[in-house]
């Protein structure tokens, strides 16, 4: 879970079945919204979700996802006006990638 500068929150979790990734937004005025599917794949599981906010209060998510051959790192971004972006593959190596970490500096820069 991560909280933006206004106190709004984003929570990301798996659904407990095939480990798809879901996210839910908390708005300080309206409370929790409805969970939305960020990434689902019938081939293999996803895991180790991490979420954080940049300096513009956009949420960013990072996780590993299996494709049947290897586990790779994926990312998506939540923009208040449009919702979650299409997940992007961050690596194309043939080996497995686990344990992604998402970090932002005190100024909101991602790293």
Digit-coded pLDDT (tens) for 39-85: 766 677 777 778 888 888 788 888 888 888 888 888 888 887 888 88
What per-residue confidence (pLDDT) applies to 25?
Answer: 79
How much of the chain, in percent, has pLDDT values that exceed 90?
0
Q: Could you state, in order of their start, the residue ranges of all structural domains in the chain?
A: 2-89
If one counts every other C-beta atom within 10 angstroms of the C-beta of residue 78, the result is 21
**What secondary structure letter does DSSP report for 7?**
S
- Block residue for tokens 């798809």: 20
pTM above 0.85, yes or no: no
| Cβ 12 vs Cβ 20: under 8 Å | no
């Amino acid at each position: 879970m991560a909280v933006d500068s206004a106190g709004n929150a984003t929570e990301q979790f798996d659904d407990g079945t095939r480990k798809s990734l879901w996210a839910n937004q908390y708005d300080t005025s309206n409370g929790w919204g409805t969970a939305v599917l960020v990434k689902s794949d019938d081939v293999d599981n996803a895991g180790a979700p991490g979420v954080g906010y940049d300096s513009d209060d956009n949420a960013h998510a990072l996780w590993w996802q299996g494709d049947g051959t290897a586990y790779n790192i994926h990312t998506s971004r939540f923009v208040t006006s449009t919702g979650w972006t299409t997940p992007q593959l961050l690596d194309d190596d043939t080996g497995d990638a686990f344990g992604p970490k998402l970090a932002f500096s005190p100024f909101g820069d991602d790293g």
